[in-house]
Structure 1
């Protein structure tokens, strides 16, 4: 269903045969060849625009490369390409042929890359020149085809030369028609608690992201939408590809530097007249530390956030200067947007909203029983007897993990939350992040929100650490805002602040000031890594105590 559609008229249509490249991108090139993509280089000023017809030609060429190199429907291609236009040529070309792309972030280490290639039995790899050195450290002897963008290297085919030597049109008799049920894309989970799993989606995933774009992101055909995301994370297709181009929305891709620059991001919102914006809480937290009164937000009409809950203090400041409420949402690599605050709902800052259009989501106990108001349990998505649109096919080559994620008729997300009397969901943390201290169960987000409302705090993360007296106590890792310095006085001030903002037993008994926090590719704070650091410190202390 292409273009603008009223919510009351919207229906999910799942045909037997579907190909996002041909049926959406190429179709728009015929119906309305508008600007589909604005690509902005690292300086935040240099840019290029691409119409749907440009993307059609680019993807046709890459599809022809795949055909000529012997790729068939179902083959897997490792894709390590950053936020550059070539990423679209590769992804859309794969979809057209039925090759399954496996996007990966550039920050992976050689051993991570090798794991992914081995686990997937990838047929080939397409990479960008800035990760070539890493790839040279990896045993790629099992790959039948290797291609690099922007460089020449022994054993690697040059992308640009290959693209210049193939036609713009595809001979359809050379490819097998794709079904909606065919494999479409694989993303590896972040692996915060185990080795990464391969999340396999079919063509219904692309169709399902209409829910993400139409309702949570509130997109219209004439919008200019910008989602902050590395191409190696599933959020890229959430906000730069599938749902947006069903509608015909123009998307923005910014080739960001490794270090987040809030000023450049604010300049882009202003200068490129962004109308709808999606960013993780980390980005919002950094942007509100700037002087927002210097920027013009007249075109910005809708802001959303996901990844982890947004602190109310950040919400209030963004609203004050942009006039935009921030509509929180929730989903996973395994799903599309399944919980959201949408434009027709009251915003409750800190809540991720209610179940999204077409999904049944609830809070369940360990045995799969529904819980009452305010009771903390598993965020669960009903997947039987009818598998919902956009729900993953399973963890590829890991039947046990797939089986373990399903409890009766429900998929357990691994996240915990509670519902209020109005049916709004409130995130608590990962199932292994909830802190049990002095007989209480404390969600880290409650403490983090209280700390975040203090002017000295730019970012923070909270975990439970062992304590001889209480079993576990709360510890906070704090990144200070500009103009503040670590001190014992500030520690006491922050502790008293938390006691005033929330229940006294939730205050952090330990506070450590740090320069940065460990994060996943998607910007989520890796509390697992913080816990591991604390365990190592404790082991070292015990070793020192018993070393003569």
Structure 2
């Protein structure tokens, strides 16, 4: 694979050429929307900068999107332009008749295709001088489609202010970035974490962004890359860390690596312990949403409490509230909430586009409600329980799936697991665990292994939390960002009832 290196000065020149390309041959104006469906290619970063320069609203999408996904997003967003790789072009062509707002199709490829403009051809012909548009702080900059537990993906609108200055603090403290750092974030560029860790946080702090094409996640490729290149800061999903610790990490020498972060789903203490035991490095967990910048995090120099999401990250005032919006005392479960009154934080999303009901429903009293359940301890650490609709209520006992999953993964037989509610005629619902087995346990008797895992959970955590049902599977449903989709498994369970 060819290596590409750009300095900040070169990025400035190249992004100006890209900006002229968007406003020239592509015919885009300030406020127009452009959608991308690309793998991790350098052109994506140029497009991000070009959109900021021109005031064009950027809509990232993963290259895993199907024709149906693309059609829905183009229709909902009214995007005038789409930029794709050659692999995604046929999918776009197949839904063109449905997308009446789409005017320009741009392809990043060495070849040509009828009806498509070629990125490289336009880029070479574009001038390198461009006057940056002076956008307003509350002017829309980026739209992300975010999937909830029900309904079609919602459009989250972020402003120029929220996705710039908002990441200064987390980049400096949680990610611990300086101008001398090289930061590798493995996130798919269609996921919001790529904006966090592959654009704004590192560049605001003067850090170098490292990118690997990484067509699919392969632990060996990740580990060899960390050993070969001078990456100082590494960010990947919790699921990825789970996979990496299955390898003998002591056989690799990470000469430059000094700081590791993760987010997107709760980090199991067992995974953190195994990573540190083999690398000597802690994993600093952060928590946020598409609608926010970093809500809370474990930052460098702070005591890490394993299993905690850390403390509130500036500028947010994070509280745990009840159904009426009252702040809960330490140790009492409630909804994770961000104070929005008397003044709304500048880096909170603007709205769910074309969905005022959803926007209004996200607020309760003086707070924005994240939809996550947690507790806060006396020292201000947040302890994740689960999504509001993931929490299992069995015979009056509220059980967070994360607790059970963390207990399961401590058993050597468990490679990965997902815990959901399952209908029960007596208890209403019970805990069910879907388990991917480690290779060494594939030949074991399923019934005996089920009992062993149940007894293990009873010992590790409160006995009432053990999975009364266990199903061994070969894989788990995951989003394009690599998060386990518990809602898919839960729907399957309740559909059987």
- Shorter-chain TM-score category? over 0.9
Shift of the alpha carbon at 1:47?
2.6
Shift of the alpha carbon at 1:470?
1.6
Shift of the alpha carbon at 1:142?
3.0
Post-superposition Cα deviations, 1:414-467, rounded to whole Å, max 9, x if no partner, equal: 111111222210111110000001220000011000001111111101001001
Shift of the alpha carbon at 1:182?
1.4
Distance, in Å, in 1 between the alignment partners of 2:482 and 2:375 is 23
Distance, in Å, in 1 between the alignment partners of 2:148 and 2:118 is 32
Say yes or no: does 1:60 pair with 2:13.
no
Equivalent residue, structure 1, for 2:147:
190
Equivalent residue, structure 2, for 1:327:
284
Distance, in Å, in 1 between the alignment partners of 2:300 and 2:176 is 7
Shift of the alpha carbon at 1:131?
0.9
- Counterpart mapping for 1:195-234 below 5 A: 195-204=152-161, 205-234=163-192
Post-superposition Cα deviations, 1:249-296, rounded to whole Å, max 9, x if no partner, equal: 0111111123x2111101111111211111111000000000111011
8 Å Cα contact 2:374-2:384 kept in structure 1: yes
User: How many residues are paired up?
Assistant: 490
User: Which secondary structure does the structure 1 equivalent of 2:441 belong to?
Assistant: coil
Post-superposition Cα deviations, 1:123-166, rounded to whole Å, max 9, x if no partner, equal: 11111112112112212443121111104221111111111111
Shift of the alpha carbon at 1:536?
3.4
Equivalent residue, structure 1, for 2:331:
374
The verdict on how the C-alpha distance between 1:184 and 1:524 changes in structure 2, with shifts beyond 3 A counting, is same
**Structure-2-length-normalised TM-score:** 0.96
8 Å Cα contact 1:374-1:420 kept in structure 2: yes
Equivalent residue, structure 2, for 1:534:
493
Shift of the alpha carbon at 1:70?
2.7
8 Å Cα contact 1:94-1:100 kept in structure 2: yes
8 Å Cα contact 1:212-1:238 kept in structure 2: no
Equivalent residue, structure 2, for 1:96:
53
Shift of the alpha carbon at 1:192?
3.5
Equivalent residue, structure 2, for 1:456:
413
Structure 1's unaligned 5+ residue stretches are 1-40, 539-548
Distance, in Å, in 2 between the alignment partners of 1:520 and 1:78 is 19
- Counterpart mapping for 1:336-415 below 5 A: 336-415=293-372
- Counterpart mapping for 1:141-180 below 5 A: 141-150=100-109, 151-170=111-130, 172=131, 176-180=133-137
Distance, in Å, in 2 between the alignment partners of 1:390 and 1:459 is 35
8 Å Cα contact 1:362-1:379 kept in structure 2: yes
**Following TM superposition, where does structure 1 have runs of at least 4 consecutive aligned residues deviating by more than 3 angstroms?**
none
Equivalent residue, structure 2, for 1:518:
477
Distance, in Å, in 2 between the alignment partners of 1:277 and 1:82 is 20
8 Å Cα contact 1:300-1:322 kept in structure 2: no
Distance, in Å, in 2 between the alignment partners of 1:256 and 1:534 is 34
8 Å Cα contact 1:225-1:249 kept in structure 2: yes
Shift of the alpha carbon at 1:191?
3.8
Equivalent residue, structure 2, for 1:4:
none
Say yes or no: does 1:440 pair with 2:400.
no
User: Which secondary structure does the structure 1 equivalent of 2:211 belong to?
Assistant: strand
- Which among 489, 503, 509 is matched to residue 468 of structure 2? 509
8 Å Cα contact 2:75-2:100 kept in structure 1: no
Higher RCO (C-alpha 8 Å, min separation 6): 1
Post-superposition Cα deviations, 1:380-427, rounded to whole Å, max 9, x if no partner, equal: 001122221321111112111111111122100011111122221011
Shift of the alpha carbon at 1:521?
2.0
Structure 2's unaligned 5+ residue stretches are none
Shift of the alpha carbon at 1:206?
1.5
**Structure-1-length-normalised TM-score:** 0.87
Say yes or no: does 1:426 pair with 2:379.
no
Shift of the alpha carbon at 1:177?
2.3
Shift of the alpha carbon at 1:176?
4.0
Distance, in Å, in 2 between the alignment partners of 1:47 and 1:311 is 35
Equivalent residue, structure 1, for 2:273:
316
Shift of the alpha carbon at 1:363?
0.4
User: Which secondary structure does the structure 1 equivalent of 2:164 belong to?
Assistant: helix
Shift of the alpha carbon at 1:236?
0.3
User: Which secondary structure does the structure 1 equivalent of 2:440 belong to?
Assistant: coil
Distance, in Å, in 2 between the alignment partners of 1:355 and 1:149 is 40
